[in-house]
Chain A
């Protein structure tokens, strides 16, 4: 198994542009989580899905953030419009039961 696959690994974009981050969870995992990691705030849970349905999006910072999971093998996190304070590493993780498997993350820089 290739693990949780995130793309792109790095993204540099200008303020105001739309950014889409992608995640492919491990086959058979029925829960998917999006986290954001910064030095100031640590690891923050943004949203999680169970069986492709959003369960808790209370961590999504603003309406500029949206996430979808159209099927069991794919999820996106979109930021529109992006702002410099969105710069962070965004992680996707999947699980079946206990214990998460994390992807390698997408390092987003908004200039």
Chain B
């Protein structure tokens, strides 16, 4: 069964707007990661946040983690048409290397 669920399932915005995606998970984690998947392609690692971190930035990406609520959010600022893709959160457990993926958010950015 999947560890994470993402919200919303789909999101449509205009270029230049910010996009926020949320992820909830069920059990204790070592870290949480976000991946992007373009249609028909493999997943690409975007950013990792450890369980003892609360916020992390990478370029136009900002990730937050609230372990008390077992939730994370991914913010993409000043979105571009090229950001159109599906975004997945994935969690790594405390004593395992395996990643369990969420259900994903489909982001459409209109030019």
In the assembled complex, the Cα of A29 lies from the Cα of B37 at a distance in Å of 21
Which of A41-49, A68-76, A78-86 lines the interface with chain B? A41-49
In the complex, which residues of chain B have a beta carbon less than 8 angstroms from the beta carbon of A91? 42-43
Interface flag for B56 (CB, 8 Å): no
Interface centre among A35, A43, A45, A56 (most CB of B within 10 A): A43
Interface flag for A105 (CB, 8 Å): yes
Number of A-B contacts (CB under 8 A): 54
Within 8 A of A (CB), among B89-111: 92, 96-104
Number of interface residues of B (CB under 8 A): 21
7 contacts between A and B (CB under 8 A): A4-B42, A55-B98, A98-B48, A98-B92, A103-B42, A104-B42, A105-B41
State the B residues within 8 Å of A (CB).
Answer: 2, 31, 33, 35, 41-45, 48, 88, 92, 96-104
Extra contacts, 18 of them, besides A91-B43, A98-B33, A98-B92 (Cβ < 8 A), are A4-B42, A42-B101, A42-B103, A42-B104, A43-B88, A43-B101, A43-B104, A48-B97, A56-B96, A56-B98, A93-B42, A93-B43, A98-B48, A99-B33, A99-B48, A103-B42, A104-B42, A105-B42
State the A residues within 8 Å of B (CB).
Answer: 4, 31, 33, 35, 42-45, 48, 50, 55-56, 91, 93, 95, 98-105
